[in-house]
Amino acid sequence: MIRKCIGCGAILQYEEIDKIGYVKEKKYDTALYCERCFKILNYGDFKHINSDGKEYIEIYKNINKTNDLVLFLVDIFNINDSISMINKYINNKVILVITKYDIIPRSVKEDKIKTRIKEYNFNSNIIDIIFVSSNTNYNINLLYEKMLENKTSNNVYLCGNTNAGKSTLINKLIEKYSVNKIKVTTSILPSTTININNIYINENLTLIDTPGFIESNNISNYVSIDLLKKIMPKNEIKPITYQLEEGMSLLIDNLLRIEYVNGEKNSFTFYISNDIMINRINTITNNRGRDLKCHDILVSGNEDVIVNGLCFIKITKKAVLKIYTIDGVLVFKRRSLI
């Protein structure tokens, strides 16, 4: 009989120690978790799994064959075109769940972000947008009620980018609504959930965890675990504003160099983990960061420049910038979110 890890959904196996789902042979009949999940849950140990990230295509085809409700999760720190993935892959009814609301400054209003989100290529199968935080329990009850209201069978799928917080939200819902106090596996590394994973919550609801889309251009794929722990915001971000004049530059760790090449005196507000240091540097004499990949960016005013997975920077006036960051990490612009 095939057995699955209840943490990540991988099919358990004892033949290949380096492959997903591995457990020792003598534990095969009784183990609930694969060895990797057991270590993450008990020792906070992380093991990166190389996934080609294509599992979701088959999984989404199968979700489309059902009529079941889908929660599509988007990390509030990572609002980008991935929202339009819904149009591309999902025909089911969708509740768009914006996660990690706890990291956005309290002064920011939900309605403002909602309006901006609606400007993305929006599809009528999105029946609602709900902001949640699994850390503070914000709107968890509301989300549960909406699920019960809108589900078409007992099955509700959780989809979205890797690290959006799907499994963490499931644990929160288990804690609140299930008598069965198991835990699915969560971690700061991408691709923690490996396979589709059904979690019985109660007689009204079964949640189905899925592996996330891998954004190959997200900084989380390029840095060490220790650095990733610093980069991922853990609590409310305190935005920092720099007034910069043409010719000035900023350096953020060994991750980002921003040169203000041309424009009037301008305001740059950083939304970045509180654990990351920003330093003003002399553009001419300090060359740190120049070995990174350079992007020439033209800001039209009231736009955010996003370094995918690291930060977004609200810039109020027109500006010509040189942005240096790790090769492979996406740098893009959007109309200011905040």
Ligand X SMILES: Nc1nc2c(ncn2[C@@H]2O[C@H](COP(=O)(O)OP(=O)(O)OP(=O)(O)O)[C@@H](O)[C@H]2O)c(=O)[nH]1
Measured from the CB atom, the residue of 211 and 233 that comes closer to Mg ion is 211
Which does residue 164 bind out of ligand X, Mg ion, none, counting CB within 5 to 8 angstroms by kind? Answer: ligand X
The secondary structure of residue 74, as a DSSP letter, is E
Q: Which contacts qualify for 141-144: CB closer than 8 Å, 24 or more apart?
A: 141/176, 143/71, 143/95, 143/97, 144/173, 144/176, 144/177
- First-to-last alpha carbon distance for the chain, in angstroms, is 52
Which does residue 172 bind out of Mg ion, ligand X, none, counting CB within 5 to 8 angstroms by kind? Answer: none
Closest Cα partner for 283 from 311, 333, 245? 245
Which does residue 190 bind out of ligand X, Mg ion, none, counting CB within 5 to 8 angstroms by kind? Answer: ligand X
Half-sphere exposure of 116 (CA within 13 A, CB side): 18
Assess 133 for contact with ligand X (CB under 6 A).
yes
Assess 103 for contact with ligand X (CB under 6 A).
yes
Q: How far is the CB of 63 from ligand X (least distance, A)?
A: 15
Measured from the CB atom, the residue of 196 and 237 that comes closer to Mg ion is 196
Which does residue 135 bind out of Mg ion, ligand X, none, counting CB within 5 to 8 angstroms by kind? Answer: ligand X
> Which parts of this chain interact with Mg ion (CB under 5 A)?
166-167, 192-193
Binding part of the chain for ligand X, among 120-128, 140-148, 159-167, 175-183 by CB under 6 A, reads: 159-167
Q: How far is the CB of 251 from ligand X (least distance, A)?
A: 26
Q: How far is the CB of 74 from ligand X (least distance, A)?
A: 10
Assess 21 for contact with ligand X (CB under 6 A).
no
Element (H, E) at 303: strand 303-307
Assess 78 for contact with ligand X (CB under 6 A).
no
Q: What distance in Å separates the CA atoms of residue 45 and residue 220, rounded to the nearest whole number? A: 17
Q: What distance in Å separates the CA atoms of residue 39 and residue 47, rounded to the nearest whole number? A: 9
* Sign, CA torsion 105/108/114/118: negative
Contact positions with ligand X (CB under 6 A) in 173-232: 186-188, 190-193, 211-212
Residue 201's φ and ψ, nearest 5 degrees, are -95, -55
Closest Cα partner for 194 from 323, 17, 4, 65? 4
Interface pick for ligand X out of 7, 9, 21, 165 (rule CB under 6 A): 165
Interface pick for ligand X out of 135, 178, 217, 336 (rule CB under 6 A): 135
List residues near ligand X by CB under 6 A.
99-100, 102-103, 133-135, 162-168, 186-188, 190-193, 211-212, 234
